[in-house]
């Protein structure tokens, strides 16, 4: 059975394994952002004090302060997307399995025996041949 493929965002066709790998990389990219923010809050901010900075540095400082407000919604979006895409994978896998079962030839079924005589004849084994050498 070939792996099921799902088109993401209407652009990228991915297998389940590729998609899970992609999501793991996305989560692993969020972890250093939290680490940077924690370092920023404990080491850098106390040293800055109330100094004034040029505009481009002030924007960068405000972006560092906003890291948790960026990471939490991203993490929630990744979680929601993963849940929805995994449901799509499950649906497609179930449809493919059902199609394979319909296409497979039916297994050999024993003939249905309705009459009582046929039932006893069908299920009665012949007695073993007696050994005449005794």
Q: What percent of the chain has pLDDT over 90?
A: 34
Torsion region of 117: left, alpha or beta (phi above 0 gives left; psi -120 to 50 gives alpha): alpha
pTM of the entire structure?
0.64
Asked if 78 contacts 70 with a C-beta cutoff of 8 angstroms, the reply is no
In the predicted model, residues of the chain with pLDDT beneath 50 are none
Distance CA(4)–CA(45), nearest Å, equals 49
Q: Where are the domains of the chain?
A: 5-96
pLDDT in tens, 26-37: 999 999 988 888
Q: At what angle do helices 67-103 and 16-39 cross, to 10 degrees?
A: 170
């Amino acid at each position: 059975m070939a792996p099921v493929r799902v088109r993401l965002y209407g652009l990228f066709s991915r297998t389940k394994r590729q998609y899970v790998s992609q999501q793991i990389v996305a989560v692993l990219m969020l972890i250093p952002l939290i680490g940077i923010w924690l370092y920023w809050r404990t080491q850098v901010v106390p040293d800055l004090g109330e100094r004034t900075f040029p505009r481009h540095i002030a924007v960068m400082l405000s972006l560092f302060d906003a890291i948790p407000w960026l990471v939490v919604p991203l993490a929630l979006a990744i979680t929601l997307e993963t849940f929805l895409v995994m449901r799509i994978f499950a649906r497609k896998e179930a449809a493919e399995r059902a199609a394979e079962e319909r296409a497979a030839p039916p297994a050999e079924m024993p003939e249905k025996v309705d009459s009582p005589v046929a039932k006893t004849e069908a299920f009665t084994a012949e007695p073993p041949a007696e050994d005449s050498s005794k």
